[in-house]
Amino acid sequence: MTINQRTDMTNTTATGPLPQGHPPVAQPKVGVLLVNLGTPDGTDRASMRRYLAEFLSDRRVIEWPRAVWYPVLYGIVLNTRPKKSGALYDKIWNREKDESPLRTYTRSQGEKLAAALAGHDNIVVDWAMRYGNPSIESVLERMTKAGCRRIVMFPLYPQYSATTTATVNDKFFEALMKMRWQPAVRTVPAYHDEPVYIDALARSIEKHLASLDFEPEVVIASYHGIPQSYFKAGDPYHCHCQKTTRLLRERLGWDEKKLLTTFQSRFGPEEWLQPYTDKTVERLAKEGVKSVAVFNPGFVADCLETLEEIAGEVGETFHESGGTNFSHIPCLNDSEEGMAVIEEMVRRELGGWA
């Protein structure tokens, strides 16, 4: 009996019978791996310390010499910050699923992408976290065991930075280095200026503003910051953020006074990208601006930095400084607009593979 079957996992097609006694050969599959920043497993001190230790020991995140940083990290930060961070995570924790919103949304993005690609029976979609669980290495192992001989890895960051996209790539290729039989791989590039992304942000903003009972005088695009020294060393992140905002202004028909760019989440003694988000809303309120809305175009899913820091802390700062109306515009998350971006970027990179 003759069968048409691939006799190896390198996409070479052979027609004919397998040798006698040859084990069954599965059809090679193409994997799509979505990777987000990460999340602690729980809000307790041990879980938070484990997560923060992995995150803050990453050389892409903290570029200080280890001899200088490690005494601070292990002597001070990991003894004080886990309890504080755990209390903040507890405010936004998904009680129903006992997990952070970031994990909830990332899983949903993976499930919805799998449904969108269901017409391709040889595609496997999975998701992982750079820090915490599920780890990139564990999911990569699962995908290769499922027969994935080609993998598209998607770091879920619209704007490129060494602190985000590069460290995901590092961890992904580090896992590949441990494998004797490596799959062929592609990585999805930054998409800060892709029309589908700009349009998704614009439609999300328009939809949210239409639901408010006030009209914001100022709308702020708040991006996660990086130290100025990283930018001066050649990181393109600041330029990517500025371009996203500029294209969004053009799409919405707004000027530079209506839509501002700011940076949040600074940490440590270094000077970070400016203007700072918290200082900006404080200034606006003191100048008489009564209504403000803030969104986070650098995050594909709501998380601690958007739900607690912006919707919570920055909102309080605005009100305490004299502002009246404040609204946080949710991230794209697993919305129709958000999934359109993810699907288009993935389909592009699957070209010739699926």
Type of residue found at 185 = V
Residue 306, pLDDT score: 98
Same domain, 75 and 141: yes
- Pairwise CA distance, residues 353 & 154, whole Å: 15
Same domain, 121 and 227: no
Phi, then psi, of 176 in degrees rounded to 5: -65, -35
Residue 5 pLDDT exceeds 60: no
Same domain, 318 and 207: yes
Residue 81, pLDDT score: 97
Same domain, 146 and 201: no
- What is the pLDDT confidence band of residue 13, given thresholds at 50, 70 and 90? very low
Q: What are the residues whose beta carbons fall under 8 Å from the beta carbon of 239, sequence distance 6 or more? A: none
Same domain, 124 and 92: yes
In a domain, 13, yes or no: no
Q: Tell me the three state secondary structure of residue 123.
A: strand
Residue range 292-331, pLDDT digits in tens? 999 999 999 999 999 999 999 999 999 999 999 999 999 9
In a domain, 210, yes or no: yes
In a domain, 318, yes or no: yes
Q: Where are the alpha helices (DSSP H) in the chain?
A: 45-56, 66-72, 78-92, 101-116, 136-145, 167-177, 195-211, 228-232, 237-252, 277-286, 315-320, 336-349
Domains of the chain: total: 2
Question: Could you say which DSSP state residue 255 is in?
Answer: -
In a domain, 182, yes or no: yes
- CB atoms under 10 Å from CB of 184, counted, come to 13
What is the rounded average pLDDT of the residues 12-30?
Answer: 72
Asked if the bond preceding 17 is cis, omega within 30° of 0, the reply is no
Phi, then psi, of 14 in degrees rounded to 5: -130, 140
- What is the chain's percent helix, strand, coil content, to nearest 5? 45, 20, 35
Give me the CATH number covering residue 297: 3.40.50.1400
Same domain, 185 and 217: no
In a domain, 99, yes or no: yes
Residue 271 pLDDT exceeds 60: yes
- Pairwise CA distance, residues 145 & 137, whole Å: 12
Mean pLDDT of the chain: 94
Q: Is 305 one of the annotated binding-site residues? A: yes
Q: Which two tokens stand for residue 275?
A: 């203007």
What domain range includes position 127? 29-190+336-349
In a domain, 236, yes or no: yes
Same domain, 158 and 284: no
What is the rounded average pLDDT of the residues 5-16?
Answer: 41
Residue 247, pLDDT score: 98
Q: Tell me the three state secondary structure of residue 74.
A: helix
Same domain, 285 and 169: no
What is the rounded average pLDDT of the residues 241-247?
Answer: 98
Same domain, 226 and 164: no
Question: Could you say which DSSP state residue 99 is in?
Answer: B
> DSSP letters of 284-301?
HHHTT--EEEEE-TT-SS
Same domain, 186 and 201: no
Residue 24, pLDDT score: 75
In a domain, 324, yes or no: yes
What is the rounded average pLDDT of the residues 270-287?
Answer: 98
Q: Which two tokens stand for residue 258?
A: 């209506």
Same domain, 132 and 203: no
Question: Could you say which DSSP state residue 310 is in?
Answer: I
Same domain, 112 and 256: no
Phi, then psi, of 114 in degrees rounded to 5: -60, -40
Residue 16, pLDDT score: 62
pTM score: 0.92
Q: Are 140 and 173 in contact (CB under 8 A)?
A: no
In a domain, 52, yes or no: yes
